[in-house]
Structure 1
């Protein structure tokens, strides 16, 4: 069940979410709330349920029990977008695919401004098959931003890209939060990068910790051991 929250409430709230594959729960009683205009990291070991949780929040999956409440609209940038990068369209056309289907004029930013924001100024006419992996991630982020959603869920947006691109995308996320958008970002990067976030949610099927980066570090003394090889 997904419903709207009244004004002055958290932008997004999950209440006792559960989701199972067969007899096993991939998400087991997860509850949290995200404030308006906050940037939150979602971390946990491989198989912890991070992607499943994001899909539950966005509505692509239906929870076994529990509820999701949102004060506005939710957009998701999936980790593995089903995209054929050899498809003969331009970067501009790809970003425009993010326009709200019911109200295409609802997007507050132009394609050019979004491409400039993600560091691809002047590349709107470039073909998709001419892009590097890092540029592809930037295009997907621009397409997600085009949806102009109140809450933006990003599944591993900084994976398999070079450090400068990662730093730039984190800067863009911070700018969006400063503008009032609420972002929840799945990440396997446990370390100094988390200091870029307002809060950190740690899950391993259940919610393990929820707080500021320093609070979470003090709560989980063996985070490196819990995360295992996913942060190597």
Structure 2
């Protein structure tokens, strides 16, 4: 049974602008790791913001565990793109992670330590963010997101600035989160073999081009490209 269902989502930033998303329908199942892939300008970040409730669709609906998103928004958490944050801000890792507490209520030491341990950076709790590597900073941001009470996590391009070994380590962490029962939806530029780590792939370019297993989606996209180049005629 799908845990999050979005149906016929259409969105534009103004009445005069072109559609950013057009009749997008997706399903996310509990305890799965899903990749959202597509070119720049495909609408990936906009879709994540719609699913988290930061934006309202012009048309369509979003349901979480059978309830409208407006009621179940606390079940969905969004980890923003790395480039949107000021990593030179003078704050420690534990200070950043504590900010992820819902409604800014005070977090306990146990909750904080648990979040840091889940992403493997408990040894860096007292260090300032600007002393960490890019991969460690991404883990800190993920730990902050995990401090919420959500069960669905939307990660916007979390691996875009990471080198291959660090990216692989990060994928292992989010794979473990999904295996623990969380629903993880990852916007990504990764293609090919990198998608084999995911249970499901959704290819987006303003509308859904393909959805299914990594192999099925790759076959579908190859077919679309082939038809566009008239090589199958």
Asked if the contact 1:118–1:168 (Cα under 8 Å) also holds between the matched residues in 2, the reply is no
Q: Does 1:206 align with 2:207?
A: yes
Structure-1 residue corresponding to 2:99: 97
Q: Using the alignment, how far apart are the partners of 1:157 and 1:109 within structure 2? A: 26
C-alpha spacing 1:223/1:75, structure 2 compared with 1 (3 Å): farther
Give me the TM-score of the superposition, normalised by structure 2: 0.86
- SS of the aligned residue for 1:75 comes to strand
Report the alpha carbon displacement of residue 189 of structure 1 after superposing the two structures with TM. 0.6
Asked if the contact 1:10–1:36 (Cα under 8 Å) also holds between the matched residues in 2, the reply is yes
Q: Say which of 4, 7, 11 aligns to 1:19.
A: 11
Q: How many residues align?
A: 216
Structure-2 residue corresponding to 1:185: 186
Structure-1 residue corresponding to 2:120: 119
Report the alpha carbon displacement of residue 102 of structure 1 after superposing the two structures with TM. 6.8
Asked if the contact 1:20–1:27 (Cα under 8 Å) also holds between the matched residues in 2, the reply is yes
Asked if the contact 2:87–2:129 (Cα under 8 Å) also holds between the matched residues in 1, the reply is yes
Q: Using the alignment, how far apart are the partners of 1:156 and 1:88 within structure 2? A: 24
Q: Using the alignment, how far apart are the partners of 2:225 and 2:197 within structure 1? A: 19
C-alpha spacing 1:100/1:113, structure 2 compared with 1 (3 Å): same
Q: Say which of 13, 29, 33 aligns to 1:39.
A: 33
- SS of the aligned residue for 1:209 comes to strand
Give me the TM-score of the superposition, normalised by structure 1: 0.86
- 1 or 2, which has the higher helix percentage? 2
Greater Rg, structure 1 or structure 2? 2
Q: Does 1:68 align with 2:62?
A: yes
The CA RMSD over aligned residues, in Å, is 2.2
Report the alpha carbon displacement of residue 172 of structure 1 after superposing the two structures with TM. 1.1
Q: Say which of 86, 89, 92 aligns to 2:88.
A: 86
Unaligned runs of 5+ in 1: 1-8, 226-232
- SS of the aligned residue for 2:11 comes to strand
Q: Using the alignment, how far apart are the partners of 1:205 and 1:108 within structure 2? A: 43
Unaligned runs of 5+ in 2: 66-71, 227-233
